[in-house]
């Protein structure tokens, strides 16, 4: 059982028994650890104590993040800036596949892909000649995940490299960098012009804050397109890198997530707990489009 699975187990336990306010010793027993080791593991994983982290999982906290994020998102769209998508000040350049590239299915390409660990479970990531073309959490087995990924570019040559993938993921999720190094990554996506526009809008939602489908549509100048925006958000193939987990319902309910509602809640709380308000200032994002 890895750290994410232990924490997820505790969240499920609390969902069922939150009204009883179980003490640390009870949570530790559920995680199959001593209270000392549970507190240390949880604090290292979340960046805060179990008590403070659990506060970040509440409905009231989600509503508070929505209220904070309203003006921040508007400012980001007005100025063309984006909040730091990652705790180590990562910049993402989003490139869209051309119709010719989509038709070819990746013919002539060699795509390197591999499995690695993240704070939220196993991840499968793929790097094409044009950039990162796939990033997903693996829950249904590695064989099935690999097969599903390769169908995105069926004519490409696929090369498995878990070692390189592991090192990259270690950098991607390393919050200890905290702005010490800036790295620009290229996200290579396959989608309609509207979907690409929505995914670019997602990159403007700062880490540690939330928005809604309706608010995202309004910020894009399409206030009546909330349903279409929600559909595009759900088609995102680059989990975490394009932060679709930062979009929730207007009521404050987290809502669905293609990689699991429970994981989405933990991602939101993890970012919120580890990202002080002082570190949520906008930073540049570079975007190109090949359509």
Which are the catalytic amino acids?
A: 244
SS3 275: coil
258-269 burial code (b ≥16 CB/10 A, e <16): bbbebbbbbbbb
107 Cβ contact partners less than 8 Å away, ≥ 6 residues apart: 155, 156
Strand-strand pairing, 184-189 and 110-118? unpaired
Side-chain-side CA neighbours of 58 within 13 Å: the count stands at 11
Structure tokens at 142: 């590695």
What single-letter DSSP state applies at residue 236?
-
Alpha carbons 287 and 91: distance in angstroms, whole number: 10
Q: Which long-range contacts (CB under 8 A, 24 or more apart) does 132-137 make?
A: 132/185, 132/186, 132/187, 132/188, 132/238, 132/241, 133/188, 133/189, 133/190, 133/237, 134/237, 134/238, 135/237, 135/238, 135/239, 135/240, 135/241, 136/237, 136/239, 136/259, 137/239, 137/259, 137/260, 137/263
**Which secondary-structure segment (H or E) carries 25?**
helix 24-30
What backbone torsions phi and psi does residue 76 show, to the nearest 5 degrees? Answer: -60, -40
Strand-strand pairing, 110-118 and 121-128? antiparallel
Nearest to 174 by CA among 220, 240, 127, 93: 240
């Amino acid at each position: 059982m890895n750290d994410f699975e232990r924490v997820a187990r505790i969240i499920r336990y609390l969902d069922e028994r939150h009204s009883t306010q179980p003490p640390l010793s009870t949570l530790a027993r559920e995680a199959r650890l001593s209270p000392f080791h549970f507190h240390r593991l949880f604090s290292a994983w979340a960046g805060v104590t179990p008590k403070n982290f659990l506060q970040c999982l509440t409905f009231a906290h989600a509503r508070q993040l929505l209220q904070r994020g309203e003006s921040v998102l508007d400012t980001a769209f007005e100025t063309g800036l984006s909040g730091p998508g990652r705790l180590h000040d990562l910049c993402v350049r989003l490139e869209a596949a051309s119709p010719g590239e989509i038709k070819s299915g990746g013919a002539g390409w060699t795509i390197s892909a591999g499995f690695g660990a993240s704070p939220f479970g196993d991840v499968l990531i793929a790097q094409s000649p044009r950039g990162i073309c796939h990033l997903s959490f693996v829950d249904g087995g590695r064989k099935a995940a690999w097969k599903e990924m390769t169908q995105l570019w069926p004519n490409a040559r696929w090369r498995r490299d878990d070692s390189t993938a592991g090192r990259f993921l270690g950098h991607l999720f390393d919050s200890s960098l905290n702005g010490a190094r800036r790295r620009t990554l290229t996200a290579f996506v396959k989608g309609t012009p509207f979907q690409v526009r929505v995914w670019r809008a997602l990159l403007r939602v700062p880490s540690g804050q939330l928005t809604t489908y309706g608010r995202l549509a309004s910020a894009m100048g399409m206030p009546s397109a909330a349903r279409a925006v929600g559909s595009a958000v759900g088609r995102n193939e680059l989990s975490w890198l394009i932060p679709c987990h930062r979009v929730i319902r207007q009521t404050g309910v987290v809502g669905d997530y293609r990689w699991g509602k429970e994981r989405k809640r933990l991602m939101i709380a993890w970012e919120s707990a580890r990202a002080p308000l002082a570190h949520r200032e906008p930073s540049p994002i570079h975007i190109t489009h090949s359509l």
